[in-house]
Amino acid sequence: MSPDPKTPVKIDALSGVPTTGHDWDGIKELNTPLPRWWVIIFVGTIVWSIFYVIAYPAIPLHSSFTKGVLGWSSRGAVGKDIAALRATRGPMTAALAKASLQAIEKDPGLLEFARAQGKAAFADNCAPCHGAGGGGGKGYPNLNDDIWIWGGALDAIFATISHGIRSGDPQGHDSAMPAFGRDGVLSKAEISNVADYVHTLSGQPAEQGASVASGAKLFAEDCAPCHGVKGAGNQELGAPNLTAHGSLYGSDKEMIVQTLTNGRGGVMPAWSGRLDLATLKALTVYVHTLGGGQ
Amino acid sequence: MSLWNKSVIFEKNALIMLIGVLIVVSIGGLAQIVPLFYLKSTIEKVDGVRPYTPLELAGRDIYVREGCYLCHSQMIRALRDEVERYGHYSLAAESMYDHPFQWGSKRNGPDLARVGGKYSDAWHQQHFNDPRSLVPASIMPGYPWLATTELDYRHISESMNALANEGVPYTQEMIEKAGLDLEAQAKDGSAGSSDLAKRYPNAISRNFGGQAGAVTEADAVIAYLQMLGTQVDFKIYDDKANIR
């Protein structure tokens, strides 16, 4: 409270500090001045704000606002940041976008850069399904092994990453494992027989009392057109190799029966709209060099 | 009495003090809020943003009900690392039909502003059921009941009506056919699908929840997630046009 000028300033005898002049039942209020450091900072921030308002976007006007003499804007700033990032990566990224996939793998410098960029992009975009190390999971292919559904060559991997599988992209891979049970093509008993046969294809012993022979006959009729007479699969159609170990959805009989009954149609998104060409190529090379590339 | 001592008027009278505080605080507020309603640079015009379909809206309501916004933001900030990880920074126009918006302020989980199309429906189904079966380090709780709970959409028309009053351009036709549109979008190929695409451009209709039969809550919430951030085509978006 400001002291009243009509009353003379009274000094408190004990502390030597002026009082406000008010007296409440003998208790007087000290009128201690604000600490100097505090006043300096207070005034300093006000002075600072004047420069800030001049330098940066600040005051709203009729249809626009004062832009500030520095011309800063958050969107302009991020644009510059990203341009700077591109410039840093520039020569390598440009080389990556221009070189063929095969050439990237032959050039040690490009390969190292592609694998580094591919690893980061893989962690951001692919790991949620295929696992942090590309180990896959049920319904999500393992990218470390040499079992490929749509092909493990560089160009095949690039096509799959770019356009996806059953992704709605017109250039994406498209096929479907029919639902033999749900659509009434095969009876439950027949499905069980086919499952027994498929079970033996990957070298697993047949279950007791399994009718492998009748399963083989049904397989030749219904499954061989896509999966091949010997069940070796067809990468053109995305029909998995059934003789391989480590099946996509598991190799126990129960799982095979489920697949035959309800069909399968796993979806991989198309990435060409989301990632640029250099990143797509980096990812392709990264996946190809994980261990199973063909 | 000098000008310096005029503060005594405020200090000695509680009501005048109260009114004075109100005036000062509202000047600060108004100076920040009012310009947002008329400044051209804060009102973007962007092609492609449409109101939510009834199914997406129902999914959005579940998103709010389950408190997803407490751990997930829907706002890619204009910062380099965010743009690198999540894609183009969010535009104000992309949440223009959100009442309330779901920008959020906390990221225990990743930002979801552009999650649409990033993962398959099957991934979302499994992830809701048991997040750690897909992402071992995840701390997200499971939401297994979404797949088994039938979606209650008896009041979807009323919801849309309320939003229409807020300014979302739902037409009378959209509101009347909300139930039909919702069923059509959740069941690919059923009657009314072509109509749905006419009312809601680029609406995807398929069995999002992956289960035959009734429309589940998983259908709705996955339909919502799969459209997030997909409406604006950034190949043709001019990011200079809105720096004015």
Q: Is the pLDDT of residue A280 over 50?
A: yes
Interchain CB contact of A18 with B (< 8 Å): no
Question: Which among B35, B134, B204 has CB closest to A128?
Answer: B134
Question: Could you give the 3-state DSSP secondary structure of residue B59?
Answer: helix
Nearest to A79 by CA among B240, B92, B40: B240
Q: What percent of chain A has pLDDT over 90?
A: 7
Nearest to B117 by CA among B198, B222, B24: B222
A92 is in an annotated binding site: no
CB atoms within 10 A of CB B67: 9
Residues from chain A that touch B34, judged by Cβ atoms under 8 A, are 60
> Was domain B54-227 assigned CATH 3.20.20.370?
no
Interchain CB contact of A267 with B (< 8 Å): yes
The 10 Å CB-count burial string (b at 16+, else e) for B86-118 is bbbbbbebbbbbeeeebebeeeebbbbbbbbbb
Q: Where are the domains of chain A?
A: 94-160+271-288, 188-262
What distance in Å separates residue A266's CA from the closest CA in chain B? 7
Q: Where are the domains of chain B?
A: 3-38, 54-227
The phi and psi torsions of A286 (rounded to 5 degrees) equal -60, -50
CA distance linking residue B155 with residue B231, whole number of Å:
26
Q: How confident is the model at residue A186 (pLDDT cuts 50, 70, 90)?
A: confident
Contact A139 B2 (CB under 8 A): no
Q: Is the pLDDT of residue A234 over 90?
A: no
A18 or B238: which carries more pLDDT confidence? A18
pLDDT value, residue B192: 56
Q: Where are the beta strands (DSSP E) in B46-181?
A: none
pLDDT value, residue A4: 53
Q: Are B116 and B227 in contact (CB under 8 A)?
A: yes
Lowest mean pLDDT among B25-29, B38-42, B79-83: B38-42
A155 or B149: which carries more pLDDT confidence? B149
pLDDT value, residue A70: 87
Q: Is the pLDDT of residue A286 over 90?
A: no
Q: How confident is the model at residue A154 (pLDDT cuts 50, 70, 90)?
A: confident
* Minimum CA–CA partner of B239 in chain A: A75
Nearest to B135 by CA among A135, A115, A279: A135
B156 membership: H or E segment, kind and range = helix B156-166
pLDDT value, residue B225: 94
* Minimum CA–CA partner of B120 in chain A: A267
pTM above 0.80, yes or no: no
Contact B7 A2 (CB under 8 A): yes
Q: Is the pLDDT of residue B210 over 70?
A: yes
Report pLDDT digits (tens) over B211-229.
Answer: 878 899 999 999 999 999 8
Round the average pLDDT of chain A to a whole number and report it.
82
Mean pLDDT score, A193-219:
79
Q: Please list the residues that pair with B177 across neighbouring strands.
A: none
CA distance linking residue A134 with residue A291, whole number of Å:
10
Q: What is the dihedral of CA B108, B111, B112, B115, to 10 degrees?
A: -120
CB atoms within 10 A of CB B43: 13
Q: How confident is the model at residue B151 (pLDDT cuts 50, 70, 90)?
A: very high
Q: Which residues of B touch A (CB under 8 A)?
A: 1-2, 4-5, 7-8, 11, 31, 34-35, 38-41, 78-80, 83-85, 87, 89, 117-123, 126-127, 133-136, 204, 235, 239, 242-244
Which alpha helices (H) appear in A101-252, and where do they start and end? 101-106, 108-125, 127-130, 154-163, 188-201, 212-218, 224-227
Contact A78 B89 (CB under 8 A): yes
Q: Is the pLDDT of residue B185 over 80?
A: yes
Q: Which of A7-21, A82-96, A230-244, B101-115 has the highest mean pLDDT?
A: B101-115
Q: How confident is the model at residue B244 (pLDDT cuts 50, 70, 90)?
A: very low
Residues from chain B that touch A60, judged by Cβ atoms under 8 A, are 31, 34-35, 39
Q: Is the pLDDT of residue B72 over 70?
A: yes
Q: What is the CATH number of domain A94-160+271-288?
A: 1.10.760.10
Contact A63 B40 (CB under 8 A): yes
B236-242 contacts, C-beta under 8 A, 24 or more apart: B236/B47, B237/B46, B237/B47, B237/B88, B239/A75, B239/A79, B239/B88, B242/A75, B242/B41, B242/B44, B242/B91
Q: Are B231 and B48 in contact (CB under 8 A)?
A: yes
A76-81 contacts, C-beta under 8 A, 24 or more apart: A76/B243, A77/B78, A78/B78, A78/B79, A78/B80, A78/B83, A78/B89, A79/B239, A81/B79, A81/B80
CA distance linking residue A204 with residue A147, whole number of Å:
18
Residue carrying the six token digits 């552009």: B114
pLDDT value, residue B242: 53
Q: Is the pLDDT of residue A1 over 60?
A: no
Question: Could you give the 3-state DSSP secondary structure of residue B202?
Answer: coil
Question: Could you give the 3-state DSSP secondary structure of residue A232?
Answer: coil
Sequence-ordered list of residues with C-beta below 8 angstroms from that of B86, at least 6 positions apart, any chain: B76, B110, B111, B113, B114
pLDDT value, residue B40: 75
Nearest to B82 by CA among A273, A124, A132: A124
Residues from chain B that touch A79, judged by Cβ atoms under 8 A, are 239
Mutate to test the interface with B, among A2, A53, A183, A272 (most CBs of B within 10 A): A2
Q: How confident is the model at residue B191 (pLDDT cuts 50, 70, 90)?
A: low
Considering the domain delimited by A188-262, tell me its CATH architecture: Orthogonal Bundle (1.10)
Q: Are A198 and A219 in contact (CB under 8 A)?
A: yes
Report ipTM for this prediction. 0.72
Q: DSSP label at A10?
A: -
Report pLDDT digits (tens) over B56-65.
Answer: 999 999 999 9
Contact B78 A78 (CB under 8 A): yes
Mutate to test the interface with A, among B32, B123, B188 (most CBs of A within 10 A): B123
